[in-house]
Amino acid sequence: MPRRARLSLPNTPLHIIQRGNNRQACFFADEDYRFYLEWLAEHADKTGCRVHAYVLMTNHVHLLISADRSEAPGALMKALGQRYVQYVNRSYQRSGTLWEGRFRSCLTQDETYLLACQRYIELNPVRAGMVLHPAEYRWSSYRANAQGEADALVKPHPLYTALGLDAASQQGAYRELFRYELEPGLVDEIRRATNGNFALGNERFAAQVSEALGRRGVPGRPGRPRRKLERMPMNCYLGE
């Protein structure tokens, strides 16, 4: 059975997760994180992708990006993944795969879910019990988005810049969003959409995605679909 194609549309935010194979570590030292971010910035520029938020965990990566072309996210992740695997295998005298197959992703509705998805990404170290506050974690976009720390990789989405009239007010409004934890139902919704490669948004957004791509953008109903039986022509060839 052919693999299910990923959902991707120009200029529509895409939440990406890439995990280490068998959930094993993919970052082993500080320089590994730094090289990954450096190459992410380089290949994002080359492929026309804009990174709005990110977090590098020990055994997986979260990204929130927008791209000018539908095929750009795939090109970014392929080039970045191959380059980083070559570096890890060479540095640690290992061989074989590092990543758990293809990355997982979901198209994200701007006005309703984009900032929630950014919070989901940057709160990952808190949910994992690694830190008490996202500002304490070095390898995420929180310090850039919430505190104005210089980070050439981060390209704010228009909804972020609409939070205030200047950078200081934008950062202050963004920090206010982190006064409360994400609701568990919203966390589950983001996870289901990303792991299933579905649209993350309301029914109208899902319908727009389905119409634009000519395929279903939400999970189907459980059970096998009921199909109408048709008479097969006598000269029909039963091939693969």
Distance, CA of 84 to CA of 191 (rounded, Å): 25
Check whether 95 has a pLDDT greater than 70. yes
pTM of the model: 0.86
- Asked whether the beta carbons of 98 and 28 are under 8 A apart, the reply is no
Check whether 3 has a pLDDT greater than 60. no
The confidence score (pLDDT) of residue 101 equals 83
The confidence score (pLDDT) of residue 6 equals 64
- Asked whether the beta carbons of 36 and 19 are under 8 A apart, the reply is no
The confidence score (pLDDT) of residue 222 equals 42
Which pLDDT tens digit goes with each residue over 164-200? 999 999 999 999 999 988 999 999 999 999 998 888 9
The confidence score (pLDDT) of residue 104 equals 93
Distances (CA, A) of 111 to 13, 35, 136, 157, 160: 11, 33, 28, 11, 10
The confidence score (pLDDT) of residue 215 equals 57
Q: Percentage of the chain with pLDDT > 90? A: 70
User: Tokens at residue 87, please?
Assistant: 């570096």
Pick the CATH number of 14-213 from 1.20.1070.10, 3.40.50.2300, 3.30.70.1290, 2.60.260.20: 3.30.70.1290
Which pLDDT tens digit goes with each residue over 68-86? 998 999 999 999 999 999 9
Distance, CA of 135 to CA of 123 (rounded, Å): 9
Lowest mean pLDDT among 153-162, 169-178, 222-231: 222-231
User: Tokens at residue 103, please?
Assistant: 């990355």
Which pLDDT tens digit goes with each residue over 103-156? 999 999 988 899 999 999 999 999 999 999 999 999 999 999 999 999 999 999
Distances (CA, A) of 209 to 53, 88, 104, 131, 180: 22, 37, 17, 36, 31
The confidence score (pLDDT) of residue 225 equals 42
Name the residue with higher pLDDT: 119 or 205.
119
Calculate mean pLDDT across residues 208-236: 51
Check whether 239 has a pLDDT greater than 70. no
Closest CA to 205 of 6, 3, 13: 13
Check whether 203 has a pLDDT greater than 60. yes
> Positive or negative CA dihedral for 94, 83, 119, 212?
negative
The confidence score (pLDDT) of residue 11 equals 86
Distance, CA of 158 to CA of 162 (rounded, Å): 6
Check whether 15 has a pLDDT greater than 50. yes
- Asked whether the beta carbons of 77 and 16 are under 8 A apart, the reply is yes
* Structure letter (DSSP) for residue 231: P
Distance, CA of 98 to CA of 206 (rounded, Å): 33
Check whether 97 has a pLDDT greater than 60. yes
Sketch the domain layout of the chain as residue ranges: 14-213
